[in-house]
Amino acid sequence: MYKIMTPGPTQVAENVRLARSMECTNPDLDVDFVEFYKETCEEISRLLHTKNETLILGGEGILGLEAACASMTEPGDKILVLDNGIYGRGFADFVSMYGGKPELYSRDYRETLDVSELEEYLKEHHDYKYATVVHGDTPSGMLNDVSAICPLLKKYGIMTVVDSVSASFGEPLSIDDCQIDIMCGGSQKVVSAPPGLTFVVISDDAKKAMKERKTPIASFYANLTTFAHYYEEKWFPYTMPISDIYGLRAAMDNIAADPDIFIRHQQIAEASRKAVTSAGLNLYLKSGFSSTVTVFEVPEGTTADAILETVKKDYNIMLAGSFDVLAGKVIRIGHMGNNAEFYKIREVFAALDGTMKKLGIPLKASMEEVFCAEMNR
């Protein structure tokens, strides 16, 4: 099996794998599991510094994004879609699917959103029910400053749906301070549990908007209101994936026991970018570098496929290309969660050094050596 150093899914710790192998009860009938579910949700809220309720849904991170849009969107609603990346633009599809009218605020995919520029736009355009914001755009490694963007939107009476699937727990985030109405996360990124779960954190304002809808939500599985009374009634809207939730709880406990998690992600990200640029390769982004993903352009004289296949075949390491408008143009290194460890990233750069040499791509410096030097400063 390959060492997966992709920007999600990530490597899964042994205690998480063991938790998933625990004997299962019937999650529909056992009230002890309802308590376990609620306690796990409360731990997520605590780690994200919020009093808002968290719900864990049985589906990959995309389910959380769709459920937020399905539950918040009514036919004809104007929704502001902040678009400076592939996933940013992708929110428009969910909005349209449920009858909303997405209006794209499109900006350079290589630059983080300029908050001052956004405010100038909002002075003249603020008749929106909510806005969609991507905290960390996995295809490009873009980080947007939700601590400035979301309060600005709330200032103009616009609720927010934030995709933090690849940023949460790798970047500092206080949901309450950021005034986020719905935050969406996933199990397979920094959390470092297997894929298959999403969690959504929902504000009272968002709950009120769902409750006061004039039209029913056009989904059952993506309807967040079906969980409204699960704890009082001790009844879930569908059978919960109990083994996955056992694993998620263990992964959250790992995060809670890791006080240096943000510092480690930041140091590894900075050293990774320095390794890439010192070797003479180009980072894709100009600003907004995340602490969870490093993305560099495929150098002239080779292809993304050649790099990825050589790293796999010769070094047993799996990196990632990208997709959509970035297909074939970049290589992505996932240094998030359990991947964000010195020796694992060192192996990646050693593999890339060897791969570039084999493919005839000259480097100005050894990426492995630069990475190690930066980490030891």
Region 35-56: what's the mean pLDDT?
98
Residue 251's SS3 state is: helix
pLDDT band of residue 56 (cuts 50, 70, 90) is: very high
- Tens digit of each residue's pLDDT (9 = 90 or more) over 182-238: 999 999 999 999 999 999 999 999 999 999 999 999 999 999 999 999 999 999 999
pLDDT band of residue 377 (cuts 50, 70, 90) is: confident
Mean pLDDT of the chain: 98
Q: Could you give the residue ranges of the DSSP H alpha helices within the chain?
A: 14-20, 31-47, 61-72, 86-97, 115-124, 146-155, 175-178, 204-211, 230-233, 242-256, 261-278, 304-315, 342-358, 367-375
Asked if the model's pLDDT at residue 60 lies above 90, the reply is yes
pLDDT score of 286: 98
Question: What's the rounded Cα separation, in Å, for the pair 273 and 265?
Answer: 12
Asked if the model's pLDDT at residue 351 lies above 90, the reply is yes
How far separated are the first and last CA of the chain, in Å rounded? 33
Domains of the chain: 12-256 (3.40.640.10), 261-375 (3.90.1150.10)
Q: What distances in angstroms separate CA 375 from CA 83, 265, 268, 306, 315, one per listed residue?
A: 34, 12, 7, 29, 22
Instruction: Find out whether 64 and 71 touch, Cβ atoms under 8 Å.
Output: no
- Tens digit of each residue's pLDDT (9 = 90 or more) over 19-35: 999 999 999 999 999 99
Query: Is the sign of the CA dihedral 323, 114, 180, 147 positive or negative?
Result: positive
- Tens digit of each residue's pLDDT (9 = 90 or more) over 163-177: 999 999 999 999 999
- Tens digit of each residue's pLDDT (9 = 90 or more) over 82-103: 999 999 999 999 999 999 999 9
Residue 256: how many CB atoms within 10 A of its CB?
12
pLDDT score of 8: 95
- Tens digit of each residue's pLDDT (9 = 90 or more) over 125-150: 999 999 999 999 999 999 999 999 99
Region 240-250: what's the mean pLDDT?
98
Question: What's the rounded Cα separation, in Å, for the pair 282 and 296?
Answer: 6
Distance, CA of 200 to chain centre: 12
Asked if the model's pLDDT at residue 360 lies above 90, the reply is yes
pLDDT score of 119: 98
Instruction: Find out whether 118 and 111 touch, Cβ atoms under 8 Å.
Output: no
Region 239-243: what's the mean pLDDT?
98
- Tens digit of each residue's pLDDT (9 = 90 or more) over 282-336: 999 999 999 999 999 999 999 999 999 999 999 999 999 999 999 999 999 999 9
